[in-house]
Structure 1
Amino acid sequence: MSDDLLARHRAVLPNWVSPLYDEPIELVSGKGSRVTAADGRTYLDFFGGVLTTSIGYDIAEISDAVRAQIDTGIAHSSTLYLIRRQVELAEKIARLSGIPDAKVFLANSGTEANETALMLATQFRRSNQILAMRNSYHGRSFGALGVTGNRGWSASSLTPVNVSYLHSGDRLRGIFAGLSDAEYTARAVEDLREVLATTTSGDVACLIAEPIQGVGGFVAPPDGFFGALKEVLDEYGILWISDEVQTGWGRTGEHFWGYQAHDAVPDMLTFAKGIGNGYALGGVVARAEVMDCLSATSFNTFGGNPVSSAAGGAVLDYILDHDLQANAARVGAIIHEGLHRAAATLPVVGDVRGKGLMIAVEFVEPGTTRPNPAAALRVLEECKKNGLLVGKGGLYANVLRMGPPLTLTEAEAEEGLEILLAAIGSVR
């Protein structure tokens, strides 16, 4: 990125929209898992526009589907008219969701999807009481920030909902540190019962939770955790919303949806990011009685528009036709195993975690569990210097998080791993 463009960015865009890197880059082209910046440098992309470019760049099947729709001359109509591409995509997602009697509402983003899910839950249950997880992130709108359990992203204490927070899956530090999976789950269930008895009036609308916390640094509870919580939720009639904005579409490798690791089915799931592969697309899947509970008239101007729905349909077909869930498991294992092997010799690494092509490295002060955001930043910059783009997150901004395209090859995984390990090794 030229100094001129950076200066123009800073002059006209908000200060809280901040580019990554000391010297931000402008991406001008992409192919497969690689992008090229305005200065001509090419990078292997392990972040995909925050886990959004799910199957890579310049995919002919997506371009052809979008071009065919644009060539009709109808790029927009709103939901006041029938949209064939929208109905077709919703039918596919409903079938794949695992939710019985499913209906789908298509939106523009994960934020809008979560906002809609909260509106449905509070209307269905006639309560504005919400359960959410500590260290969570659900979007930047008023309601979504209200259920976000990370003060770094909480721009306001004002909120339309009354939230009680449960413990996240973080066992590197905190009161649940060092517990086994079974012990952690048992204590979390006890905590849920205590929260319901003490900080709520009982008629809670829903629990909203990410199966793997995205912005929170890919922190995850044990498999089966949310199933154990849902047994308690069901006693009270409380709905469970699974925020699949980052975990959906086979990214974890083990399952198509993150919730499927927990032996229970949510009442609603929200999605976005990867389904559009760069086109604005998100949505909610819910049981019909929940989805249809709104009594007011509503519509969506841009959500599920013909172009985005055409892209989403092509993306979903590509993921299924090429079994990219299996590729995420196979190729992701190369990176996970390489990082785990090296972690024992890298005292600055406090934890390696994630599933499939969701990969995180948490940095600490050597010999402690104290967060080390400076190390994370140095590794981020060193990776860029050597041709690899990664992301950053975590409650303390000390986690590198990676979500490469689901089409990543074994050779690209090895290449990225080599750059990443060299960058980590350079930090003392």
Structure 2
Amino acid sequence: MTNDLLGRHRAVLPDWLALYYEEPLEITHGEGRHVWDAQGNRYLDFFGGILTTMTAHALPEVTKAVSEQAGRIIHSSTLYLNRPMVELAERIAQLSGIPDARVFFTTSGTEANDAALLLATAYRRSNTILAMRNSYHGRSFSAVGITGNSGWSPTSLSPLQTLYVHGGVRTRGPFASLSDDAYIAACVEDLKDLLGHTRAPAALIAEPVQGVGGFTAPPDGLYAAFREVLHERGILWIADEVQTGWGRTGEHFWGWQAHGRNGPPDIMTFAKGIGNGMSIGGVVARSEIMNCLDSNSISTFGGTQITMAAGLANLNYLLEHDLQGNARRVGGLLIERLRAVAAQVPAVREVRGRGLMIGIEITKPGTDEADPQTAAAVLEAARAGGLLIGKGGGHNTSSLRVAPPLTLNVAEAEEGAAILENALRSIR
């Protein structure tokens, strides 16, 4: 049955639509932190549909909210008043930390970042964007145009002029040997130098932790230091929280808060986990930025009632059960466990991350050279052991990505770590 489905997939879907595993997996259902495939095999899910099943599979509170809303009305578009959309926007505006915030809902992180770029360029009357090397912001034409990870940038054509800034990857590049303070200072000087050679950009867009790039991050405070430079020149800061938001990093509710000494970003984007599998994305911005567009606009599917009902139920559950705190506690244990294992596996260059957002970088032993074949072998071995994880990486690196639902408990963390240990030891 799976082979038949794979053949049908290949017959009608694009060749560039990536599938994991030598024998691709059909997931048929899930519950809690587990999923099952079409053959009845059970897996501990440490990737959550690319960080999207944020709380749990088949979370009763969310499935109930979706079912009840579906029984009333599923969709009406933004041309009509929409109570669930207003209620979720109120919650997100308050949680964002952005003063006088306005919220616009989309259906994905790609669309959210696309909207953020539209707002920033219109507000600043500039089509120049600063982006981070090794970054990823989505698959639309404009989002691809600012992506700093060549493996996910299929065209060099773009409506934007993009300039890439150094600093998103702490342990690689020309400043890697510096202390954190010296690293930040060097990156700031690099930014100042770059700005001296270009017309005033509209904005800097940055992921607080780079997702597709392999869960890499700068030292805390880098973007705060960047913001000082940007603010002096009127340049906006867009925080891409599509993967880092909602408490996943444990220490903070938003990733930008690790860099927040100068206040919140001007624009923030979100998606993925808030819908717990439903298609929700969005942009938060100060009112004068959000309201700068001088033509009419709507969203047919952004903010539709059924997704908003899911988002409200999911957000309530997350806050009421302190899943941010759980990510900090259980994630901290998981990171330390994986670092202890990695110390005995020469192919692991680094285990990095915070909360339940953990990257394991695989290289050829004793070098900094990427080893994608070995990373793929670990991915396969983990699956064989009953664990689903992700992969990514930039700078010619190969990284495994570990991002379980935020309800992960200690026993499940230990189980997943043991499977990963066996998978990593199998490549020695």
Q: Which residue of 2 aligns with 1:400?
A: 400
Deviates more, 1:338-347 or 1:28-37: 338-347
Q: Which residue of 1 aligns with 2:41?
A: 41
* Post-superposition CA distance 1:87-109 (Å, at most 9, x none): 00000000000111101001100
TM-score normalised by the chain length of structure 1:
0.98
The whole-number CA distance in structure 1 between the counterparts of 2:134 and 2:167 is 6
How far has the Cα of 1:171 moved from its partner? 3.6
Q: Which residue of 1 aligns with 2:246?
A: 249
Summarize the alignment of residues 59-98 of structure 1 with structure 2, pairs less than 5 Å apart.
Answer: 59-72=59-72, 74-98=73-97
Query: Residues 132 and 168 of structure 2 are in contact (CA less than 8 Å); yes or no, is this contact kept in structure 1?
Result: no
Query: Residues 170 and 219 of structure 2 are in contact (CA less than 8 Å); yes or no, is this contact kept in structure 1?
Result: no
How far has the Cα of 1:397 moved from its partner? 5.4
Query: Residues 171 and 179 of structure 1 are in contact (CA less than 8 Å); yes or no, is this contact kept in structure 2?
Result: no
Summarize the alignment of residues 21-420 of structure 1 with structure 2, pairs less than 5 Å apart.
Answer: 21-72=21-72, 74-198=73-197, 200-201=198-199, 203-262=200-259, 263-264=261-262, 265-395=264-394, 396=396, 398-420=398-420
Q: What SS class does the counterpart of residue 152 from structure 2 fall into?
A: coil
* Deviation beyond 4 Å, 4+ runs, structure 1: none
The whole-number CA distance in structure 2 between the counterparts of 1:56 and 1:23 is 26
The whole-number CA distance in structure 1 between the counterparts of 2:318 and 2:206 is 25
Query: Residues 242 and 259 of structure 1 are in contact (CA less than 8 Å); yes or no, is this contact kept in structure 2?
Result: yes
Q: What SS class does the counterpart of residue 80 from structure 2 fall into?
A: coil
Identity across the alignment (%): 60
How far has the Cα of 1:343 moved from its partner? 2.2
The whole-number CA distance in structure 1 between the counterparts of 2:183 and 2:206 is 17
Q: What SS class does the counterpart of residue 399 from structure 1 fall into?
A: strand
The whole-number CA distance in structure 1 between the counterparts of 2:380 and 2:213 is 20
* Post-superposition CA distance 1:138-175 (Å, at most 9, x none): 00000101110011111111101111100133243321
TM-score normalised by the chain length of structure 2:
0.98
Query: Residues 205 and 239 of structure 1 are in contact (CA less than 8 Å); yes or no, is this contact kept in structure 2?
Result: yes
How far has the Cα of 1:257 moved from its partner? 0.1
Aligned residues: 425
Q: What SS class does the counterpart of residue 302 from structure 1 fall into?
A: coil
Gaps of 5+ in 1: none
How far has the Cα of 1:56 moved from its partner? 1.1
How far has the Cα of 1:2 moved from its partner? 1.3
Query: Residues 147 and 163 of structure 1 are in contact (CA less than 8 Å); yes or no, is this contact kept in structure 2?
Result: yes
Q: What SS class does the counterpart of residue 330 from structure 2 fall into?
A: helix
The whole-number CA distance in structure 1 between the counterparts of 2:98 and 2:354 is 23
The whole-number CA distance in structure 2 between the counterparts of 1:135 and 1:234 is 24
Gaps of 5+ in 2: none
Summarize the alignment of residues 6-25 of structure 1 with structure 2, pairs less than 5 Å apart.
Answer: 6-25=6-25
The whole-number CA distance in structure 1 between the counterparts of 2:182 and 2:169 is 13
The whole-number CA distance in structure 1 between the counterparts of 2:107 and 2:341 is 40
